[in-house]
A and B are shown apart, each in its own frame.
Chain A
Amino acid sequence: MNRAIAMADEGRGTSLVEVREVVKTYSTSEGPLPVLSGVSFDLNAGVSLALTGESGSGKSTLLHLLAGLDRTDSGSIRIEGTELERLGDAELSALRRQRIGLVFQQFNLIPSLDVRSNIAFHARLAGRLDPSWRDELVERLGLSGLLNRYPEQLSGGQQQRVAIARTLAMRPILVLADEPTGNLDEASAASVLALMLDLVRASGAGLIMATHSLRIAGQLDRRLHLSAGRILAC
């Protein structure tokens, strides 16, 4: 997708995500470790954004902050205009339950539940399971034959496809993905990624994906490069 279209997308509506001067420092045994040192950007609904950078550049931390799994030291993050810093734990949890879908590199699934229940789980938590949409996802992700299996009985690619189905089944407004194909071989990574981008686009949700692969980043609408906790270039 070219820059022109990206600019056009940005103008399409109000910002889904607004990140302003976010700073995050972890305290370690060797002293404070600055991870994010003033990061700002916006994202509109329906747009996909790649976060690239080396290991330790703060990609994952930024995603966690966006998901409300962790808190900023300073700066602000707004999602649909709501400032996360103002929300309590209960409201952050509700935000995740209702609005945000997460796909991680690993351990996305609940080991005690079978694939069918895993796919429905987040949507049911959000209280809006749409069976036809779920069935469509199952169909498109090629999971029909796996519904009765348990996570430990699936390959890495299958697990990630289930995670995507689960995330999209609850119709999030924002999907956050952290190296979703990092554990997969090239072929399955490509197919999982293609499916994911396709489906996110079809659902109209915003997508932020952390990845170290420039090739993957190239398939997304926008790209931000993080280095030493700052955005270097777009």
Chain B
Amino acid sequence: MSVRCLFLCLWLCASAHAQGFAGLGAPAKGFASPVRGGELSFPADHGAHSEYRIEWWYLTANLEDSQGRPYGAQWTLFRTALTPGEGGGWSDPQLYMGHAALTSRTDHVFAERLGRGGTGQAGVRTSPFGASIDDWSMKSLAAAEADPLSHLELFAAGPAFSYRLTAKSDRPLILHGDRGYSLKSASGQASYYYSQPFYKVTGEIELNGRRTKVSGQAWLDREWSSQPLAADQTGWDWFSLHFDNGEKLMGFSLRDSANGFSSGTWISREGRGIPLSRNSLKAIPLAYTRVEGRRIPTRWRIVLEARRIDVTLRAINPKAFMKTSAPYWEGPVTISGSHPGQGYLEMTGYE
């Protein structure tokens, strides 16, 4: 899922370019690059990797209230480094950006926070695990011997919303690609990428002044890298799907000037991740919605022949657009067809 790094790149890119910094198309000078076969180790790798340029802690939750009304919640902390390593106070090159959103059928509210690592305004610690920016936080409530990510508490708030959620999982972490080494393009860009897709969630949301108890399931993505995408890649579509039969599917498709690049991971009920062979996942847009002056596909057909999956994704709220520093579409979907269920959809690069 290194595609998401594009945000941060977009955000800082212009700065870097204009100031005559090394172009981001080339391997980043001074930053570490993911290596195939590099063993991930936990809980250390839950924390920040300041020698890599970009990283995120990205949780999306499909929720519903007692009347069965669906909601989506997003909690994201991005990290980007101006230079590798850490520094004290204001001169810390580690910058953080938080995005939080709450989506219902009729509303989509979001907020953005920015801050620096060195001052204590934002950051990630490993023991006990906690990621935060301002008053937004993702804290571990797990017992000492358990994986810190197996039990989380999340909080975020904006002018028109807030939520506090507890997420628990009894299944293992899923390492994507080759033991967490995830290839992102034909030309070899890659990232470290693992997920915890098995959360059961309970909690309370507040939307436009109304508090509601909710429950559901959630998916956490952890990813870090230093390499941005190829210059001809114009955007991507990313899916995280919870099927009702307990199986999960993560898939992404990168749009470029040629045939594109798609990949993903099929995850069994028990928590076994099997990488998809390259370009075996087919994602076909079916219907578009005009949002914020852009034409965005909000209904998709997803086909994975190897698993006999042929489903249709429908956005719960087609207007789930994040008008943040780097704008994108991110929202909950319902799944119908061969494998009914629910999930999250993310799309960037639509004009």
A–B contact (CB under 8 angstroms): no
Instruction: List residues of A whose CB falls within 8 A of some B CB.
Output: none
